[in-house]
Structure formats: C-alpha cells, structure tokens
Amino acid sequence: MPGIRIVGESVACESTVKSEIEEGIAAAMKEVVEGLTKPLSPEEKSPKQQTGKTPRVAFKGSLQEVNRFYYGKGWTDGLPIIPPTEAAVAEMMTGTDLPPDHVVATLIPRKGKATIEKIAVNAVMAGALPTYMPVLIAAVQSFADPKTRFDTFEVSTGSWAPFLAINGRIRNDININCSSGALSPGNIANAAIGRAVGLIVKNIGGARKAVEDMGVIGNPSKYSLVIGEDEEASPWESLSVERGFKKEDNTVTVFFPNTFIQTVPGGTDAKGILDTLSGMVTSTMSSLILIPSWAKVLSGEGYTKQKVKEYLAAHAAPGSSSVPGFSNAASPPKVDFNNSLMILVAGGPGSFIALLRSAGPGFFENSLVTKKIELPKNWDKLVAKYKDVKPNYEKY
C-alpha cells in the first residue's frame, strides 16, 4: 500500500503490564499526531501503481536449478517441488470441468485470485494428482467462507494450521488414509493435498512467513493436516451426514487448530473414555479423533455422537487460560459443542485418542465449515488412471 505512513511502537505483543503500555503509547503518540497532520508529499498524494506483466514462463533450467530459483523467490515451503510445466498444469486441470481462468475465491492477505490454473500450479508443485483437484477447489471455497475466520488464522501469531476432514466415496477413489498413521507422512493423497493447500495459501493468498504470517513459534502441521473419516468402520453416521449432507455426497470440513494432543483413555469402558475426553476438551473449537474400537465401545453402551457431545458439554473443563495462544484472555462464554466440536472416527488398531484444538467461537465467532466436493464428468476415467498410485511395501 504505497503512501501509507507507518509509526513504530515499543509495547510488547499482548502486553498486560500497564506501565509499559502507557509508556509505549505516550512515546508513539507524537509520531501518530505528526503522521496524521503533516502535509502529504507529492508521492503520497498520487502514489503510482506498480505496472508490468509477469512472464508466463518463470524460469528454464535443470530440476535442481528450478528448485533453487523457486526457493530463492520464496515460492516453496522449503522442500523440493515438482516444476509446474505447461503440460503438468494442463494434466492437473483435467481434475475439474471448470475453465482455467475461473476464480474460485479471493484469498487474503494480498487478495490473490485463486483461479483454477493457479490452484493447479500449486498442486503440481506439491506433487498432487489430478484427482485431488476437486478437494483443493472445495478447500479454497471453504477458506473464502467468513465463518472459518481464515482472515485471522492465516496471519495470526498463533500458528494455526488448516485441518481438512474428508468424507464420501472420494476417500477411497483417491486413496485417502483413514486408518493407521493417517496424519503421518507416507500417503501421497493426505500429504500432497495438505501441502498444496499450504502452497496455495502462501503463493496465491500471500501469507509469507514472518511478513504476513506472524506465527511466533510456527507449526509443523502447516505442511499437511489431512485425514479421511473411516465411515465403513464407524458405528455412527458420518461427519458429513451429521452436518446436513447426503450419505453419497463428498465433502471437506475445515477448521484451524494449533494444538495436537494424543493420550490413552483412563478406562476401556464408556465412562473411562468419556472422562478422559472431558479432561481434554474445553470450550475451544476441537476435533476429536476416535479410533473405531473406542467408537464401538461408546456406541455399544448407547452413546451416539450427540450423546457424547452432551456428556462433554456437562463435564468438560472450562476454557479460560487453556485457549492456545490466548494465555491472558478472559474466560470465554459457554460454547455450543454442536457447532464447535467435530467427532471423527479414524485411525488404526491401538488405544490412543487424538485432539486437535483451536480458538473457539467465543473468541472469533468462527465455526466449522463443510463444503461439497464437486466431481468432473470424467471422474471414473480419472480414478481408473491414478487409482494404483499408492505405496506397496516390500515384504521383509
């Protein structure tokens, strides 16, 4: 924004020390007044817009040279990328019926136009397959929904990461891992979809680390945080059906956690599981990941997802200082778990329970957002083409 006058200040971020705050304000006010009253310079009166056309071909060279060039430009996430050649991007766009110049959404902070072609460019860079395009398009649509508060989370000091939960037939079509190690590296669908989202946020949205994305500590989950619900192993209705979609619909549900916790329940009956969950869940927005065996224990003792939420609403710990990134915040209002708690059945054999936690509606008026994934007309042919791209481990 050319012509904007900027005044620096010395107060520590989120300071609670009154003397420091008052001293900092007093020191800055003189410059604030001057900045508001000093006559505008000719450059400030008529700031010139930057002109020039970006060349379509950014670089030519070897794979190593391309990667060094992209990294030097700040276009990568620090890992090597697949060069987005014309041919590779064209192949990626076979994953949608929408035209290349179709604008899916405008993303903050730079208000970048997320066209189909730009989404495809970043998908290629991430190592994605064309069958992932419908998921990426739906994810970008979700970010444009104000209820996600993407406008806050992607540039906050709190290091929030986009979390994508996928439901429907598409999970099996594109080999989304819903079982053992679903959030670990190793599966191209989970990993590349999450990585592509990160590159889209960075390159189209313009959320650059330590420039617009002001995460203090950072978050490894920003590389990839994608999981599918194990609908086949769940005793309950799927998340998508719970959120008002048809059983045959493909959906992606999005929210922004910055904390990931795993623990073992204090008992193997419903009370042991629920009491453990009560100690984990607060009034913040959360996603509980229950392995199928624990879900079946709860279901066997008469607990539906709704009854689990009602139990947690009655027994969960208060939110106050447990809110990640808001240690000095006042206690938030009581939150409706129907809108702020996502229960996913996923994961493999074992005993662990996982919780991903975000700042809840009491702070940002945010909520879970679910979007339908639209498949192209050639979907079955695409699935057949890429279905076998998955790991087949050698036997020891």
- Residue 43 scores a pLDDT above 90: no
Please report whether residue 177 resides in a domain: yes
How confident is the model at residue 320, as a pLDDT? 39
Over pLDDT 70: what percentage of the chain?
A: 93
Q: Is the dihedral of CA 6, 10, 12, 16 positive or negative?
A: negative
Please report whether residue 5 resides in a domain: no
Question: Stretch 256-263: mean pLDDT, rounded?
Answer: 94
How confident is the model at residue 335, as a pLDDT? 58
In the block, tokens 């990568």 appear at 76
Please report whether residue 311 resides in a domain: yes
Structure tokens at 100: 């290349």
Cα separation of 175 and 348, whole Å? 15
How confident is the model at residue 328, as a pLDDT? 45
- Residue 45 scores a pLDDT above 90: no
* 253 three-state secondary structure: strand
Q: How far is CA 107 from CA 47, 48, 95, 119, in A?
A: 24, 24, 21, 12
Question: Stretch 307-311: mean pLDDT, rounded?
Answer: 93
Task: Compare 363 and 308 and report the one with higher pLDDT.
Answer: 308
Q: pTM for the whole thing?
A: 0.90
Lowest mean pLDDT among 120-134, 144-158, 209-223, 278-292: 278-292
What does pLDDT average to over the chain?
91
Q: What is the pLDDT of residues 66-92, one digit of tens each?
A: 999 999 999 999 999 999 999 999 999
Please report whether residue 331 resides in a domain: yes
Rg (CA), the chain: 23
How confident is the model at residue 330, as a pLDDT? 46
Question: Stretch 95-117: mean pLDDT, rounded?
Answer: 97
Question: Stretch 334-361: mean pLDDT, rounded?
Answer: 85
Element (H, E) at 190: helix 188-200
Question: Stretch 180-190: mean pLDDT, rounded?
Answer: 95
For residue 56, the 8-state DSSP code is: S
C-alpha atoms less than 13 angstroms from C-alpha of 38 in its C-beta half-sphere = 13
Please report whether residue 310 resides in a domain: yes
Which domain range does residue 368 map to?
Answer: 63-377
Lowest mean pLDDT among 138-147, 150-159, 335-344: 335-344
Cα separation of 85 and 71, whole Å? 17
Please report whether residue 345 resides in a domain: yes
Q: What is the pLDDT of residues 115-138, one digit of tens each?
A: 999 999 999 999 999 999 999 999
Lowest mean pLDDT among 125-139, 162-176, 265-279, 362-376: 362-376
How confident is the model at residue 325, as a pLDDT? 47
Please report whether residue 20 resides in a domain: no
Going by pLDDT thresholds of 50, 70 and 90, the confidence category of residue 362 is low
Going by pLDDT thresholds of 50, 70 and 90, the confidence category of residue 275 is very high
Going by pLDDT thresholds of 50, 70 and 90, the confidence category of residue 50 is confident
Cα separation of 28 and 22, whole Å? 10
How confident is the model at residue 361, as a pLDDT? 63
Instruction: Indicate the number of domains in the chain.
Output: 1
Please report whether residue 32 resides in a domain: no
Q: Which long-range contacts (CB under 8 A, 24 or more apart) does 37-43 make?
A: 40/3, 43/2, 43/3
How confident is the model at residue 34, as a pLDDT? 93
Structure tokens at 392: 């087949």
Cα separation of 152 and 358, whole Å? 12
* 42 three-state secondary structure: helix
